Amino acid sequence: MERLENKVAVVYGDGTIGSAIAKAFAIEGAQVFLNGRTLSKLEAVANEILSNGGSVQTAKLDALDEEAVEKNMSDIINKAGKIDISFNAIGGLLQKNVEDIPLTELAVESFLLPITTYTQSHFVTAKAAARRMVKQGHGVIMMHTPNASRISPPNVGGLAPAWAAMEALCRSLSVECSQFGVRSVCLLTTSIPETPLMDEVWKVRAKARGITVEQFRSAMENMTHTKHLTTLKELTDAAVFVASDEGSAITGTILNLTAGMIMY
């Protein structure tokens, strides 16, 4: 039996992580609704899922637009009858000329951009899902946060506070909604090398430190116990587990996938 059979999942984000999550959910039998901002990316993912026998529908959507997200969620409920899983995977917010600037020299607008963008989007999508999940008596809301939310590296502007705020939102959702059968979980990872954005980020940070990209990556790997960074498959495997009935006891917490980079 497929682990997500008869479950309905909505995924926000058509980048590397959102696409991988959508594929993983579909492989495990979920009916997937994938939302993003780029039609060509959505179509490519949908074609791959359909060719492998999965179920997927796509929609062009701005996950910051509450009215659009609410309408999209209503459309999903009308089509599928329920919503079991919500995974917000929006990302890719690389602020040019902001990376590696100290907070003491950073403009207020640049500091606030990731905080307002990420928290608004996750609140909007979580609210839309939670309202329906509470009524039906079950569901899980998932978010992805990088290790910066915990180790607070220098010169990353508002990114660390933004990801920390998402983790706080996850806890608050659990406090208010778990009594109605609705879980919320953050998946915490290191940098994921397969994501194209990492190349750009590592180039900037390596240059600022006067080292090569390879040396910077090696330093990151050496911060883990296993000497390797979280892979995309490790993230998607964890997401499937949390979304399945096997993960029914997990809520209001962070699933630590950092290979020992962060310890509790």
| Token duo for residue 9 | 């999942």
pLDDT, average across residues 81-99 = 81
The pLDDT, as a whole number, for residue 259 is 96
pLDDT, average across residues 9-24 = 97
Residues in Cβ contact with 27 at an 8 Å cutoff, skipping those fewer than 6 apart: 2, 52, 54
Q: How far apart are CA 199 and CA 201, in angstroms?
A: 6
State whether residue 147 is helix, strand or coil. Answer: coil
Using the predicted structure, report yes or no on whether residue 96 has a pLDDT greater than 60.
no
The pLDDT, as a whole number, for residue 246 is 97
Looking at the DSSP bridge assignments, the partners of residue 36 are 60
Query: Closest Cα to residue 82, out of 124, 164, 138, 122?
Result: 138
If pLDDT is split at 50, 70 and 90, which confidence band does 95 have?
A: low
| Token duo for residue 35 | 């939302």
If pLDDT is split at 50, 70 and 90, which confidence band does 98 have?
A: low
Lowest mean pLDDT segment, chosen from 108-112, 130-134, 181-185, 194-198: 194-198
The pLDDT, as a whole number, for residue 93 is 66
If pLDDT is split at 50, 70 and 90, which confidence band does 152 have?
A: confident
Using the predicted structure, report yes or no on whether residue 115 has a pLDDT greater than 70.
yes
Strands (E) in 89-202, as ranges, are 139-146, 182-189
Fold for the domain defined by 8-192+230-257: Rossmann fold (3.40.50)
- Assess contact for 116 and 159: CB atoms under 8 A: no
- What global pTM score does this model have? 0.94
Q: How far apart are CA 89 and CA 144, in angstroms?
A: 7
The pLDDT, as a whole number, for residue 198 is 80
Using the predicted structure, report yes or no on whether residue 5 has a pLDDT greater than 70.
yes
Q: How far apart are CA 201 and CA 228, in angstroms?
A: 18
Q: Give the residue extent of every domain in the chain.
A: 8-192+230-257
pLDDT, average across residues 186-201 = 88
Dump the DSSP string for 61-86.
--TT-HHHHHHHHHHHHHHHS---EE
Using the predicted structure, report yes or no on whether residue 99 has a pLDDT greater than 70.
no
Using the predicted structure, report yes or no on whether residue 15 has a pLDDT greater than 80.
yes
**Amino acid identity, position 91:** G
The pLDDT, as a whole number, for residue 207 is 81
If pLDDT is split at 50, 70 and 90, which confidence band does 94 have?
A: low
Q: How many CA atoms lie within 13 A of 11 on its CB side?
A: 33
Using the predicted structure, report yes or no on whether residue 185 has a pLDDT greater than 70.
yes
pLDDT, average across residues 197-223 = 86
**Mean pLDDT score across all residues of the chain:** 94
| Token duo for residue 254 | 């962070």
pLDDT, average across residues 121-145 = 98
The pLDDT, as a whole number, for residue 203 is 82
